[in-house]
Each structure stands twice: as structure tokens, then as C-alpha cells.
């Protein structure tokens, strides 16, 4: 882990963020005392790219499929009472 002063980070932020982005961690010091650690973020996908939604599966069947089957099996009394 590389140690840098807060002043160095403030004056050369892009350089130090490039170092972190490349995988190296930084410890920021103020008056010789540790202030913060800057570590790379490990992500499967870039933060701007949303994850593909996954269906909710219960006992091997998707929840949406269960709901549709229950609707088809239920009596149509709801429709008659609404009219």
C-alpha cells in the first residue's frame, strides 16, 4: 500500500485515482496520521451497466408462472362481482 499526503492527493488527484484504478491501494495521511484508505472497487459490471434481472424462482418454478397458473385455475367470480 502506497502512502501519500492529503496535499499530494489534492494536487495530483487524477494520477492517484489512476493508480487506484490500476489495482493498487493508497493510504492518505494528514499530518503524518492515516486519514483514509483508497482501494480499488472490484465489480462484475461497470457501475453504469445495470445487472440483468433474474426471475424469482420458488421450488423450481418462476413466481410469475405460478401467479399466471393460479389466475387460470381460480374461478372467474372476481370478474362477475366487479361488473
**Does 63 have pLDDT greater than 90?**
no
When pLDDT is cut at 50, 70 and 90, the band that residue 78 belongs to is low
Residue 34 within any structural domain of the chain: yes
**Does 83 have pLDDT greater than 60?**
no
State residue 61's pLDDT score: 83
Say how far apart CA 63 and CA 56 lie, in whole Å.
6
Residue 25 within any structural domain of the chain: yes
Angle at the Cα of 26 from the Cα atoms of 22 and 39, rounded to 5 degrees = 60
State residue 47's pLDDT score: 67
Residue 48 within any structural domain of the chain: no
Q: Find the CATH number of the domain harbouring 23.
A: 3.40.1620
Query: Cα dihedral sign for 17, 27, 47, 43?
Result: positive
**Does 3 have pLDDT greater than 70?**
yes
Amino acid at each position: 500500500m502506497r502512502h501519500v499526503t492529503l496535499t499530494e492527493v489534492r494536487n495530483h488527484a487524477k494520477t492517484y485515482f489512476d493508480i487506484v484504478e490500476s489495482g493498487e491501494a493508497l493510504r492518505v495521511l494528514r499530518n503524518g496520521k492515516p486519514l483514509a484508505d483508497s482501494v480499488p472497487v472490484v465489480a462484475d459490471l461497470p457501475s453504469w451497466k445495470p445487472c440483468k434481472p433474474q426471475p424469482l424462482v420458488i421450488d423450481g418454478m418462476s413466481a410469475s408462472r405460478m401467479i399466471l397458473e393460479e389466475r387460470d385455475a381460480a374461478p372467474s367470480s372476481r370478474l362477475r362481482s366487479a361488473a
